[in-house]
Structure 1
Amino acid sequence: MADSMWSTLAASLLTAAITLAGTSCQQARQDERADRAKFLDGAQATAQETSRLLYDGYNALDKLVKESDKKGWGEFSKGPWDEYLQFHRAWRQQLIAEHFKLSHYFGKNMANQLVHIDEIDIQPVDNLSSPDPCSPAGEDKDYDMAKLSTQIECYARVAAFNQDIINEDVKDRKAEELFDALESKHNTEKHVWKLLQHYDASTVSYLRRLDATLTELGVSKVTVIPSKS
Protein backbone atom coordinates (compact mmCIF):
# COMPACT_ATOMS: atom_id res chain seq x y z
CA MET A 1 0.00 0.00 0.00
CA ALA A 2 2.90 2.29 0.79
CA ASP A 3 4.41 1.59 -2.63
CA SER A 4 1.10 2.46 -4.25
CA MET A 5 0.88 5.71 -2.31
CA TRP A 6 4.43 6.72 -3.27
CA SER A 7 3.73 5.87 -6.90
CA THR A 8 0.61 8.00 -6.84
CA LEU A 9 2.52 10.89 -5.22
CA ALA A 10 5.38 10.58 -7.71
CA ALA A 11 2.93 10.58 -10.61
CA SER A 12 1.19 13.66 -9.18
CA LEU A 13 4.50 15.49 -8.77
CA LEU A 14 5.56 14.57 -12.30
CA THR A 15 2.22 15.77 -13.68
CA ALA A 16 2.56 19.01 -11.74
CA ALA A 17 6.11 19.51 -13.00
CA ILE A 18 5.07 18.90 -16.60
CA THR A 19 2.11 21.24 -16.22
CA LEU A 20 4.32 23.92 -14.67
CA ALA A 21 6.91 23.55 -17.43
CA GLY A 22 4.20 23.76 -20.07
CA THR A 23 2.68 26.81 -18.42
CA SER A 24 6.08 28.49 -18.19
CA CYS A 25 6.82 27.74 -21.84
CA GLN A 26 3.43 29.06 -22.90
CA GLN A 27 3.92 32.19 -20.81
CA ALA A 28 7.36 32.73 -22.37
CA ARG A 29 5.85 32.49 -25.87
CA GLN A 30 3.09 34.91 -24.90
CA ASP A 31 5.64 37.35 -23.48
CA GLU A 32 7.72 37.04 -26.64
CA ARG A 33 4.69 37.75 -28.84
CA ALA A 34 3.74 40.69 -26.63
CA ASP A 35 7.27 42.11 -26.83
CA ARG A 36 7.30 41.71 -30.61
CA ALA A 37 3.89 43.38 -30.94
CA LYS A 38 5.13 46.24 -28.75
CA PHE A 39 8.26 46.57 -30.89
CA LEU A 40 6.24 46.66 -34.12
CA ASP A 41 3.88 49.27 -32.68
CA GLY A 42 6.87 51.39 -31.71
CA ALA A 43 8.42 51.02 -35.16
CA GLN A 44 5.16 52.05 -36.85
CA ALA A 45 4.75 55.06 -34.55
CA THR A 46 8.34 56.12 -35.24
CA ALA A 47 7.82 55.88 -39.01
CA GLN A 48 4.69 58.02 -38.71
CA GLU A 49 6.49 60.61 -36.57
CA THR A 50 9.35 60.74 -39.07
CA SER A 51 6.91 61.26 -41.93
CA ARG A 52 5.29 64.15 -40.10
CA LEU A 53 8.64 65.76 -39.29
CA LEU A 54 9.88 65.55 -42.86
CA TYR A 55 6.72 67.04 -44.34
CA ASP A 56 6.63 69.75 -41.67
CA GLY A 57 10.15 70.62 -42.79
CA TYR A 58 9.13 70.66 -46.45
CA ASN A 59 6.14 72.93 -45.83
CA ALA A 60 8.25 75.39 -43.83
CA LEU A 61 10.95 75.47 -46.53
CA ASP A 62 8.39 75.85 -49.30
CA LYS A 63 6.93 78.87 -47.50
CA LEU A 64 10.40 80.33 -46.90
CA VAL A 65 11.43 80.02 -50.55
CA LYS A 66 8.17 81.51 -51.83
CA GLU A 67 8.45 84.48 -49.48
CA SER A 68 12.05 85.16 -50.55
CA ASP A 69 10.76 86.28 -53.97
CA LYS A 70 11.69 89.93 -54.67
CA LYS A 71 12.54 90.60 -51.02
CA GLY A 72 15.86 92.14 -50.01
CA TRP A 73 17.74 90.89 -46.98
CA GLY A 74 16.35 93.55 -44.64
CA GLU A 75 12.72 92.68 -45.33
CA PHE A 76 13.39 88.95 -45.64
CA SER A 77 15.42 88.61 -42.43
CA LYS A 78 12.92 90.43 -40.22
CA GLY A 79 9.94 88.39 -41.45
CA PRO A 80 10.08 85.02 -43.24
CA TRP A 81 13.63 84.11 -42.26
CA ASP A 82 13.20 84.94 -38.57
CA GLU A 83 9.98 82.91 -38.51
CA TYR A 84 11.71 79.99 -40.18
CA LEU A 85 14.63 80.07 -37.72
CA GLN A 86 12.23 79.72 -34.80
CA PHE A 87 10.62 76.73 -36.50
CA HIS A 88 13.98 75.19 -37.42
CA ARG A 89 15.35 75.25 -33.86
CA ALA A 90 12.46 73.17 -32.54
CA TRP A 91 12.39 71.00 -35.67
CA ARG A 92 16.09 70.12 -35.41
CA GLN A 93 15.68 69.13 -31.76
CA GLN A 94 12.86 66.80 -32.79
CA LEU A 95 15.06 65.33 -35.55
CA ILE A 96 17.77 64.54 -33.01
CA ALA A 97 15.26 62.81 -30.72
CA GLU A 98 13.86 60.94 -33.73
CA HIS A 99 17.37 59.75 -34.66
CA PHE A 100 17.56 57.64 -31.51
CA LYS A 101 14.15 56.09 -32.16
CA LEU A 102 15.00 55.30 -35.78
CA SER A 103 18.33 53.81 -34.70
CA HIS A 104 16.51 51.51 -32.25
CA TYR A 105 13.85 50.29 -34.67
CA PHE A 106 15.45 50.64 -38.12
CA GLY A 107 19.19 50.74 -37.52
CA LYS A 108 21.74 53.56 -37.31
CA ASN A 109 22.23 53.72 -41.08
CA MET A 110 18.60 54.75 -41.61
CA ALA A 111 18.81 57.15 -38.65
CA ASN A 112 21.91 58.82 -40.13
CA GLN A 113 20.04 59.48 -43.36
CA LEU A 114 17.75 61.74 -41.34
CA VAL A 115 20.46 63.54 -39.33
CA HIS A 116 24.05 62.74 -38.34
CA ILE A 117 24.07 63.47 -34.61
CA ASP A 118 27.75 62.46 -34.38
CA GLU A 119 28.63 65.69 -36.16
CA ILE A 120 27.15 67.73 -33.33
CA ASP A 121 30.13 67.08 -31.05
CA ILE A 122 32.63 65.22 -33.25
CA GLN A 123 32.72 66.80 -36.71
CA PRO A 124 32.33 70.43 -37.81
CA VAL A 125 28.94 71.39 -39.18
CA ASP A 126 30.06 74.44 -41.18
CA ASN A 127 31.77 74.43 -44.53
CA LEU A 128 33.45 77.82 -44.64
CA SER A 129 36.43 76.51 -46.62
CA SER A 130 34.21 75.58 -49.58
CA PRO A 131 33.82 77.94 -52.58
CA ASP A 132 30.09 77.45 -52.10
CA PRO A 133 29.16 78.45 -48.53
CA CYS A 134 25.80 76.66 -48.87
CA SER A 135 27.28 73.25 -49.68
CA PRO A 136 27.02 70.88 -46.71
CA ALA A 137 30.08 69.92 -44.69
CA GLY A 138 31.42 66.39 -44.73
CA GLU A 139 31.59 63.75 -47.42
CA ASP A 140 28.82 62.86 -49.85
CA LYS A 141 28.05 59.70 -47.85
CA ASP A 142 27.26 61.90 -44.85
CA TYR A 143 24.58 63.90 -46.68
CA ASP A 144 21.24 63.78 -44.85
CA MET A 145 17.80 65.39 -44.78
CA ALA A 146 18.82 67.87 -42.09
CA LYS A 147 21.73 69.10 -44.23
CA LEU A 148 19.48 69.36 -47.26
CA SER A 149 17.06 71.59 -45.36
CA THR A 150 19.94 73.81 -44.20
CA GLN A 151 21.24 74.03 -47.75
CA ILE A 152 17.84 75.18 -49.04
CA GLU A 153 17.57 77.80 -46.29
CA CYS A 154 21.05 79.07 -47.14
CA TYR A 155 20.24 79.56 -50.83
CA ALA A 156 17.04 81.40 -49.87
CA ARG A 157 19.25 83.86 -47.97
CA VAL A 158 21.58 84.18 -50.95
CA ALA A 159 18.59 85.05 -53.15
CA ALA A 160 17.71 87.85 -50.72
CA PHE A 161 21.29 89.16 -50.82
CA ASN A 162 21.15 89.10 -54.62
CA GLN A 163 17.95 91.13 -54.51
CA ASP A 164 19.76 93.76 -52.42
CA ILE A 165 22.36 94.06 -55.17
CA ILE A 166 19.63 94.51 -57.77
CA ASN A 167 17.87 97.11 -55.62
CA GLU A 168 20.98 99.25 -55.19
CA ASP A 169 21.12 102.69 -56.76
CA VAL A 170 21.67 102.00 -60.45
CA LYS A 171 22.69 105.57 -61.30
CA ASP A 172 26.38 104.81 -61.64
CA ARG A 173 26.09 101.15 -62.55
CA LYS A 174 26.70 99.61 -65.90
CA ALA A 175 23.98 97.59 -67.60
CA GLU A 176 26.32 94.60 -67.61
CA GLU A 177 26.59 94.69 -63.81
CA LEU A 178 22.83 94.79 -63.42
CA PHE A 179 22.45 91.93 -65.88
CA ASP A 180 24.97 89.84 -63.92
CA ALA A 181 23.07 90.49 -60.69
CA LEU A 182 19.75 89.53 -62.28
CA GLU A 183 21.27 86.38 -63.75
CA SER A 184 22.78 85.42 -60.39
CA LYS A 185 19.43 85.91 -58.67
CA HIS A 186 17.66 83.84 -61.35
CA ASN A 187 20.20 81.00 -61.12
CA THR A 188 19.99 80.96 -57.31
CA GLU A 189 16.19 80.82 -57.34
CA LYS A 190 16.23 78.07 -59.97
CA HIS A 191 18.70 76.05 -57.91
CA VAL A 192 16.79 76.44 -54.65
CA TRP A 193 13.58 75.21 -56.27
CA LYS A 194 15.44 72.17 -57.61
CA LEU A 195 16.73 71.46 -54.12
CA LEU A 196 13.21 71.75 -52.72
CA GLN A 197 12.00 69.23 -55.32
CA HIS A 198 14.92 67.01 -54.32
CA TYR A 199 13.83 67.26 -50.66
CA ASP A 200 10.33 66.15 -51.62
CA ALA A 201 11.60 63.21 -53.70
CA SER A 202 14.11 62.21 -51.00
CA THR A 203 11.35 62.25 -48.39
CA VAL A 204 9.21 59.88 -50.46
CA SER A 205 12.20 57.59 -51.07
CA TYR A 206 13.13 57.57 -47.37
CA LEU A 207 9.59 56.78 -46.23
CA ARG A 208 9.36 53.96 -48.77
CA ARG A 209 12.49 52.39 -47.27
CA LEU A 210 10.99 52.67 -43.80
CA ASP A 211 7.80 51.05 -45.07
CA ALA A 212 9.77 48.22 -46.70
CA THR A 213 11.56 47.58 -43.42
CA LEU A 214 8.25 47.50 -41.55
CA THR A 215 7.01 44.87 -44.01
CA GLU A 216 10.15 42.80 -43.43
CA LEU A 217 9.57 43.05 -39.68
CA GLY A 218 6.11 41.58 -40.19
CA VAL A 219 3.77 44.53 -39.96
CA SER A 220 0.44 43.59 -41.53
CA LYS A 221 -0.61 45.44 -44.67
CA VAL A 222 -3.93 45.68 -46.45
CA THR A 223 -3.93 43.83 -49.76
CA VAL A 224 -6.20 45.29 -52.41
CA ILE A 225 -7.61 42.68 -54.80
CA PRO A 226 -8.55 44.20 -58.16
CA SER A 227 -12.15 43.68 -59.21
CA LYS A 228 -12.68 41.36 -62.18
CA SER A 229 -15.66 43.32 -63.37
Structure 2
Amino acid sequence: MNWQSTLEILQDNLGKALADTFFMVSIATVVGVVFGTLLAIALFLTQHHLFSPNAAVNNVVGFIVNAIRSMPFLILLVVLIPLIQLIIGDPYTPLGGAIALSIAAIPFFARIAENSFTEVDSGLIEAAIATGAPTRQILCDAIFPQALPSFIRGIVLTIISLLGYSAMVGTIGAGGIGDMAIQFGYNRYETGVLIAIVVLLVVLVQAIQWIGDLIARAVTH
Protein backbone atom coordinates (compact mmCIF):
# COMPACT_ATOMS: atom_id res chain seq x y z
CA MET A 1 0.00 0.00 0.00
CA ASN A 2 1.54 3.28 -1.18
CA TRP A 3 0.68 5.93 1.40
CA GLN A 4 2.18 8.73 -0.67
CA SER A 5 -0.12 7.87 -3.55
CA THR A 6 -3.06 7.63 -1.13
CA LEU A 7 -2.35 11.10 0.29
CA GLU A 8 -2.09 12.60 -3.21
CA ILE A 9 -5.43 11.08 -4.23
CA LEU A 10 -7.10 12.31 -1.04
CA GLN A 11 -5.70 15.82 -1.45
CA ASP A 12 -6.81 16.05 -5.07
CA ASN A 13 -10.26 14.46 -4.80
CA LEU A 14 -11.58 14.28 -1.24
CA GLY A 15 -12.74 17.90 -1.04
CA LYS A 16 -14.92 17.69 -4.15
CA ALA A 17 -16.22 14.25 -3.15
CA LEU A 18 -17.30 15.57 0.25
CA ALA A 19 -18.90 18.63 -1.33
CA ASP A 20 -20.88 16.44 -3.75
CA THR A 21 -21.99 14.17 -0.91
CA PHE A 22 -23.03 17.15 1.23
CA PHE A 23 -24.98 18.57 -1.73
CA MET A 24 -26.86 15.33 -2.39
CA VAL A 25 -27.61 14.51 1.23
CA SER A 26 -28.68 18.07 2.08
CA ILE A 27 -31.17 18.33 -0.78
CA ALA A 28 -32.54 14.84 -0.15
CA THR A 29 -32.92 15.53 3.58
CA VAL A 30 -34.87 18.75 3.04
CA VAL A 31 -37.10 17.21 0.37
CA GLY A 32 -37.57 14.01 2.36
CA VAL A 33 -38.47 15.79 5.59
CA VAL A 34 -40.87 18.28 3.96
CA PHE A 35 -42.78 15.89 1.72
CA GLY A 36 -42.38 12.93 4.08
CA THR A 37 -43.98 14.98 6.86
CA LEU A 38 -46.91 15.87 4.61
CA LEU A 39 -47.42 12.19 3.77
CA ALA A 40 -47.12 11.29 7.46
CA ILE A 41 -49.81 13.83 8.37
CA ALA A 42 -52.09 12.37 5.69
CA LEU A 43 -51.48 8.84 6.98
CA PHE A 44 -51.95 9.87 10.60
CA LEU A 45 -55.16 11.85 10.10
CA THR A 46 -56.78 9.23 7.86
CA GLN A 47 -56.19 6.38 10.33
CA HIS A 48 -56.67 8.09 13.72
CA HIS A 49 -60.18 7.63 15.11
CA LEU A 50 -60.23 11.14 16.61
CA PHE A 51 -59.81 12.89 13.29
CA SER A 52 -61.13 11.90 9.85
CA PRO A 53 -60.60 8.16 9.30
CA ASN A 54 -60.55 7.33 5.61
CA ALA A 55 -59.48 3.78 4.89
CA ALA A 56 -59.39 4.26 1.11
CA VAL A 57 -57.01 7.25 1.22
CA ASN A 58 -54.91 5.67 3.95
CA ASN A 59 -54.55 2.42 2.02
CA VAL A 60 -53.60 4.15 -1.24
CA VAL A 61 -51.02 6.43 0.37
CA GLY A 62 -49.71 3.59 2.52
CA PHE A 63 -49.37 1.32 -0.51
CA ILE A 64 -47.34 3.91 -2.44
CA VAL A 65 -45.08 4.55 0.56
CA ASN A 66 -44.53 0.85 1.18
CA ALA A 67 -43.96 0.09 -2.51
CA ILE A 68 -41.09 2.55 -2.74
CA ARG A 69 -39.67 1.55 0.64
CA SER A 70 -39.70 -2.13 -0.31
CA MET A 71 -37.22 -1.60 -3.15
CA PRO A 72 -33.51 -1.79 -2.29
CA PHE A 73 -31.99 1.60 -3.02
CA LEU A 74 -29.60 0.31 -5.66
CA ILE A 75 -32.49 -1.17 -7.65
CA LEU A 76 -34.56 1.98 -7.15
CA LEU A 77 -31.62 4.02 -8.41
CA VAL A 78 -31.40 2.00 -11.62
CA VAL A 79 -35.18 2.20 -12.12
CA LEU A 80 -35.11 5.99 -11.68
CA ILE A 81 -32.33 6.64 -14.21
CA PRO A 82 -34.73 7.13 -17.19
CA LEU A 83 -36.91 9.49 -15.14
CA ILE A 84 -33.92 11.51 -13.93
CA GLN A 85 -32.59 11.65 -17.49
CA LEU A 86 -35.96 13.00 -18.63
CA ILE A 87 -35.91 15.68 -15.90
CA ILE A 88 -32.34 16.99 -16.05
CA GLY A 89 -30.76 15.32 -19.08
CA ASP A 90 -27.76 13.70 -17.40
CA PRO A 91 -28.55 11.38 -14.48
CA TYR A 92 -24.88 10.69 -13.75
CA THR A 93 -24.31 13.89 -11.78
CA PRO A 94 -24.64 14.93 -8.13
CA LEU A 95 -27.99 16.55 -9.00
CA GLY A 96 -29.17 13.26 -10.48
CA GLY A 97 -28.04 11.51 -7.32
CA ALA A 98 -29.87 14.08 -5.20
CA ILE A 99 -33.12 13.43 -7.07
CA ALA A 100 -32.81 9.67 -6.56
CA LEU A 101 -31.99 10.13 -2.87
CA SER A 102 -34.94 12.51 -2.45
CA ILE A 103 -37.39 10.00 -3.89
CA ALA A 104 -36.03 7.34 -1.54
CA ALA A 105 -36.07 9.70 1.45
CA ILE A 106 -39.72 10.77 1.19
CA PRO A 107 -41.40 7.42 2.02
CA PHE A 108 -38.59 6.51 4.42
CA PHE A 109 -39.15 9.61 6.53
CA ALA A 110 -42.93 9.46 6.11
CA ARG A 111 -43.12 6.25 8.13
CA ILE A 112 -40.72 7.61 10.76
CA ALA A 113 -42.77 10.80 11.17
CA GLU A 114 -46.03 8.85 11.26
CA ASN A 115 -44.67 6.71 14.10
CA SER A 116 -43.64 9.89 15.94
CA PHE A 117 -47.18 11.24 15.67
CA THR A 118 -48.81 7.98 16.80
CA GLU A 119 -46.66 7.98 19.95
CA VAL A 120 -48.39 11.15 21.16
CA ASP A 121 -50.80 10.45 24.04
CA SER A 122 -54.38 10.17 22.79
CA GLY A 123 -55.56 11.86 25.99
CA LEU A 124 -53.70 15.01 25.02
CA ILE A 125 -55.28 14.95 21.56
CA GLU A 126 -58.74 14.42 23.06
CA ALA A 127 -58.22 17.38 25.37
CA ALA A 128 -57.15 19.57 22.45
CA ILE A 129 -60.17 18.51 20.40
CA ALA A 130 -62.45 19.20 23.38
CA THR A 131 -61.34 22.84 23.38
CA GLY A 132 -62.73 23.20 19.86
CA ALA A 133 -59.32 23.83 18.29
CA PRO A 134 -59.10 23.23 14.52
CA THR A 135 -57.02 20.33 13.22
CA ARG A 136 -54.20 22.61 12.04
CA GLN A 137 -53.85 24.10 15.53
CA ILE A 138 -53.95 20.69 17.17
CA LEU A 139 -51.16 19.51 14.89
CA CYS A 140 -48.99 22.60 15.45
CA ASP A 141 -49.61 23.21 19.17
CA ALA A 142 -50.22 19.73 20.58
CA ILE A 143 -48.96 16.93 18.37
CA PHE A 144 -45.78 18.41 16.88
CA PRO A 145 -44.31 19.65 20.21
CA GLN A 146 -44.89 16.26 21.85
CA ALA A 147 -43.54 14.35 18.85
CA LEU A 148 -40.54 16.66 18.35
CA PRO A 149 -37.83 14.60 20.14
CA SER A 150 -38.79 11.46 18.20
CA PHE A 151 -39.16 13.58 15.05
CA ILE A 152 -35.60 14.91 15.41
CA ARG A 153 -34.21 11.43 15.99
CA GLY A 154 -36.02 10.40 12.82
CA ILE A 155 -34.31 13.19 10.89
CA VAL A 156 -30.94 12.03 12.23
CA LEU A 157 -31.70 8.45 11.18
CA THR A 158 -32.71 9.71 7.73
CA ILE A 159 -29.50 11.72 7.31
CA ILE A 160 -27.37 8.74 8.31
CA SER A 161 -29.27 6.44 5.95
CA LEU A 162 -28.94 8.94 3.11
CA LEU A 163 -25.22 9.16 3.76
CA GLY A 164 -25.02 5.42 3.19
CA TYR A 165 -27.28 5.63 0.14
CA SER A 166 -25.12 8.42 -1.30
CA ALA A 167 -22.20 6.01 -1.36
CA MET A 168 -24.29 3.71 -3.56
CA VAL A 169 -24.88 6.59 -5.97
CA GLY A 170 -21.17 6.31 -6.71
CA THR A 171 -21.82 2.99 -8.43
CA ILE A 172 -23.33 4.89 -11.38
CA GLY A 173 -20.63 7.57 -11.31
CA ALA A 174 -22.81 10.37 -9.92
CA GLY A 175 -20.09 11.72 -7.65
CA GLY A 176 -19.54 11.80 -3.90
CA ILE A 177 -17.37 9.75 -1.61
CA GLY A 178 -18.86 6.50 -2.91
CA ASP A 179 -17.77 7.38 -6.43
CA MET A 180 -14.30 8.20 -5.13
CA ALA A 181 -14.09 4.92 -3.23
CA ILE A 182 -15.01 2.93 -6.35
CA GLN A 183 -12.85 4.88 -8.82
CA PHE A 184 -9.70 4.93 -6.74
CA GLY A 185 -10.09 2.46 -3.89
CA TYR A 186 -11.62 -0.39 -5.88
CA ASN A 187 -10.75 0.10 -9.56
CA ARG A 188 -7.18 1.25 -8.89
CA TYR A 189 -6.60 -1.00 -5.87
CA GLU A 190 -5.78 1.93 -3.58
CA THR A 191 -6.58 0.25 -0.28
CA GLY A 192 -5.51 3.32 1.65
CA VAL A 193 -8.23 5.38 0.00
CA LEU A 194 -10.86 2.83 0.98
CA ILE A 195 -9.63 2.79 4.58
CA ALA A 196 -9.61 6.59 4.75
CA ILE A 197 -13.17 6.82 3.39
CA VAL A 198 -14.46 4.15 5.78
CA VAL A 199 -12.89 5.97 8.75
CA LEU A 200 -14.32 9.27 7.52
CA LEU A 201 -17.82 7.79 7.21
CA VAL A 202 -17.63 6.36 10.72
CA VAL A 203 -16.58 9.75 12.11
CA LEU A 204 -19.33 11.56 10.20
CA VAL A 205 -22.03 9.16 11.38
CA GLN A 206 -20.87 9.40 15.00
CA ALA A 207 -20.82 13.20 14.83
CA ILE A 208 -24.30 13.40 13.26
CA GLN A 209 -25.72 10.99 15.83
CA TRP A 210 -24.12 12.88 18.73
CA ILE A 211 -25.44 16.25 17.56
CA GLY A 212 -28.89 14.80 16.90
CA ASP A 213 -29.07 13.24 20.37
CA LEU A 214 -28.08 16.55 21.97
CA ILE A 215 -30.84 18.40 20.11
CA ALA A 216 -33.42 15.70 20.87
CA ARG A 217 -32.60 15.80 24.59
CA ALA A 218 -32.79 19.61 24.58
CA VAL A 219 -36.35 19.64 23.20
CA THR A 220 -37.65 16.73 25.30
CA HIS A 221 -40.50 17.85 27.53
TM-score (norm 2): 0.30
Kindly name which structure, 1 or 2, has the bigger radius of gyration based on alpha carbons.
1
Greater relative contact order (CA < 8 Å, ≥ 6 in sequence):
2
TM-score (norm 1): 0.29
Name the structure where helix makes up a greater proportion of residues: 2
